[in-house]
Amino acid sequence: MQDRLLLALMLIGAAVLSGCASYSSVTPGQWTMTEVRARLGNPTDIRFSGNGDEVWEYATGPSGRFTYILRFGRDYVVREVKQVLTEDAVAQIKPQMTKREVRELLGRPSDVLFLGGEPVWDWRLDAKTTGGATLSVRFDRDGTVKDVLMLLDPSDGNGKDAPDTAGGK
C-alpha cells in the first residue's frame, strides 16, 4: 500500500514539474491553446490581430525586460513565439505610428506617464550590446508617436532576469 502511495506521489510530482514549461519550449505548429494555458498559465493579455490570429501576451513587467507574444491561428495551434522587448523591435518604431501599432509591436508598457499632457509609455528591455535599457515612447495628443528615447544602463545585469519559464520560475 505504501509503495502505491509513494508511486502516486512521484507521478504527481513529475506532473507538477512538467507543468513548469519554458517559453522557448513552445513549438509552433505543435502546441495548442489548451497546452499553452496548462503549461504556462494565463496570459497577461489576449487580443486579436488584423488577420484573425489570437495573440497571447506574457509580460514580465512592470520591472521585467521580457514580454513573450504567442500567436495562434484559427486552428488554435501556436504559429509563433517571440520575445518582443528587443532592440530590433525598437528600431521598427517610426514617427506617426499609432498607440495600437506600438502596443502590437512591444506589448503592454510597464509604465504610463504624462509629459505636458502627452502620454509617455515606458518599457524595460534587454539591450544586446550594453545590458539593460529603458525605452520611452511619447505620443502626440492625437495618439501617434512623437519621440522615442532609449536610455542604456550598462550596469543592469544583461538579461539576468530572463524568465525562460512561465511565471518567472
Could you read off the pLDDT of 82-106 as tens digits, one per residue? 999 988 899 999 999 999 999 999 9
In this model, does residue 114 exceed pLDDT 80?
Answer: yes
Question: Which triple of cell numbers denotes residue 117?
Answer: 499632457
Tell which residue, 11, 13, 16, has the closest CA to residue 38: 16
Alpha-carbon span 68 to 165, nearest angstrom: 11
Please identify, in words, the CATH class of the domain defined by 20-83. Answer: alpha beta
Average model confidence (pLDDT) across the chain: 81
The residue ranges of DSSP E strands in the chain, in sequence order, are 45-48, 54-59, 67-72, 78-83, 111-115, 118-127, 131-139, 145-153
Query: Scanning the structure block, which residue is given the C-alpha cell 502627452?
Result: 118
Q: Residue 151's pLDDT is what? A: 87
The ranges of the chain annotated as CATH 3.30.1450.10 are 85-159
Threshold 0.85, pTM exceeds: no
Could you tell me the fold of the domain covering 85-159? Beta-lactamase Inhibitory Protein; Chain:B, domain 1 (3.30.1450)
